[in-house]
Amino acid sequence: MLDTLARWLFDPSGLTPHGFCLLWEPWLIWTHAVSNVAIGVAYFTIPLALTVFARRRRDLAFKPVFWLFAAFILLCGTGHWLDLLTLWVPAYGLEGIVKAGTAVVSVATAIALWPLLPKALALPSQTQLREANRALELLAEERRLSTEALRESEAQYRTLFAQAPLPLHSLDLDGRILSVSDRWLEFMGFGRREEVLGRHLTEFMAEEAKQTFSTCWPRFVLQGGFDDLEFQLIKCSGEVADVLISARLIRDEAGAPVRTMGAIVDVTERRRAETALRASEERLRQAQKMEAVGQLTGGIAHDFNNVLTAVMGNLSFIRKRAGEDRPDLVRLADNALDAAGKAAGLTAQLLSFSRRQRLDPKPLDPVEVVEGMRTLLQRTAGDRIGLSVEDDGDVGFCLADRNQLESAVLNLAINARDAIAGAGHIVISLGTEHVAAGPDGWPPSGDYVRITVRDDGPGMPEEIRHRAFEPFFTTKPPGQGTGLGLAQIHGFAHQSGGTVTIDSAPGKGTEVAILLPRTEAALDDRDQVRALVLEAPAGQGETVLLVEDDPSVRGVMATTLIELGYQVLEAEDADAALAAFKAAAGVDAVVTDLTMPGSMDGLELAEAVRARSPKLPVILVTGHLDPLRERQLLDGVTFLQKPCTRFQLAAALQRALVGVAEPVQM
Mean pLDDT for 292-321 is 70
Mean pLDDT for 604-624 is 83
DSSP state of 182: H
Q: pLDDT, tens digit, for every residue of 237-271?
A: 888 889 898 888 888 878 888 888 888 888 888 88
Q: What's the 3-state SS for 271-323?
A: HHHHHHHHHHHHHHHHHHHHHHHHHHHHHHHHHHHHHHHHHHHHHHHHHHHHC
Q: Tell which residue, 67, 68, 102, has the closest CA to residue 83.
A: 102
Q: Which of 141-150, 219-228, 486-495 is modeled with the greatest confidence?
A: 219-228
Quick one: pLDDT at residue 351? Answer: 59
Out of 33-42, 162-171, 564-573, least confident range = 33-42
d(CA 639, CA 621): 6
d(CA 294, CA 272): 32
Mean pLDDT for 66-94 is 74
Of residues 121 and 445, more confidence is placed in 445
User: Are the C-beta atoms of residues 461 and 506 closer than 8 Å to each other?
Assistant: yes
Who's near 636: CB < 8 A, 6+ residues apart?
615, 617, 618, 659, 661
Quick one: pLDDT at residue 459? Answer: 81
Helix (H, G, I), strand (E, B) or coil at 393: coil
Provide the percentage of residues in the chain whose pLDDT is more than 90: 1
Mean pLDDT for 629-645 is 69
- Alpha-carbon dihedral angle through residues 228, 231, 232, 237, given to the nearest 10 degrees: -70
Who's near 103: CB < 8 A, 6+ residues apart?
none
d(CA 589, CA 99): 168
Assess whether the previous peptide bond of 443 is cis (omega < 30° from 0): yes
Q: Which of 315-329, 381-395, 542-556 is modeled with the greatest confidence?
A: 542-556
Of residues 155 and 420, more confidence is placed in 420
Quick one: pLDDT at residue 627? Answer: 52
Q: pLDDT, tens digit, for every residue of 280-300?
A: 777 677 667 666 666 666 666
Quick one: pLDDT at residue 530? Answer: 40
569 pLDDT above the threshold of 70: yes
d(CA 156, CA 622): 81
Quick one: pLDDT at residue 554? Answer: 85
d(CA 425, CA 113): 115
Of residues 204 and 436, more confidence is placed in 204
Quick one: pLDDT at residue 250? Answer: 84
Quick one: pLDDT at residue 500? Answer: 85
534 pLDDT above the threshold of 50: no
User: Are the C-beta atoms of residues 446 and 434 closer than 8 Å to each other?
Assistant: yes
User: Are the C-beta atoms of residues 509 and 456 closer than 8 Å to each other?
Assistant: yes
Q: Could you give phi then psi for residue 413, rounded to 5 degrees?
A: -65, -40
508 pLDDT above the threshold of 60: yes
Is residue 634 exposed (0-12), middle (13-18) or buried (19+ Cβ within 10 Å)?
middle
Q: Could you give phi then psi for residue 428, rounded to 5 degrees?
A: -105, 115
Mean pLDDT for 408-433 is 84
Q: Could you give phi then psi for residue 259, rounded to 5 degrees?
A: -160, 175
**524 pLDDT band (50/70/90 cuts)?**
very low
Quick one: pLDDT at residue 17? Answer: 52
Partner residues linked to 132 by β-bridges = none
User: Are the C-beta atoms of residues 305 and 344 closer than 8 Å to each other?
Assistant: yes
Provide the percentage of residues in the chain whose pLDDT is more than 70: 74
d(CA 155, CA 171): 19
d(CA 427, CA 412): 11
CA 453 to chain centre: 32
Quick one: pLDDT at residue 85? Answer: 72
> What value does the CA radius of gyration of the chain take, rounded to a whole number of Å?
60
Quick one: pLDDT at residue 532? Answer: 36
d(CA 230, CA 319): 71
Mean pLDDT over the full length of the chain: 76
**522 pLDDT band (50/70/90 cuts)?**
low
Quick one: pLDDT at residue 358? Answer: 54
547 pLDDT above the threshold of 50: yes
DSSP character string of 410-450: HHHHHHHHHHH-SSEEEEEEEEEEEE---TT--SPSEEEEE
pTM over 0.75? The answer is: no
Quick one: pLDDT at residue 81? Answer: 74
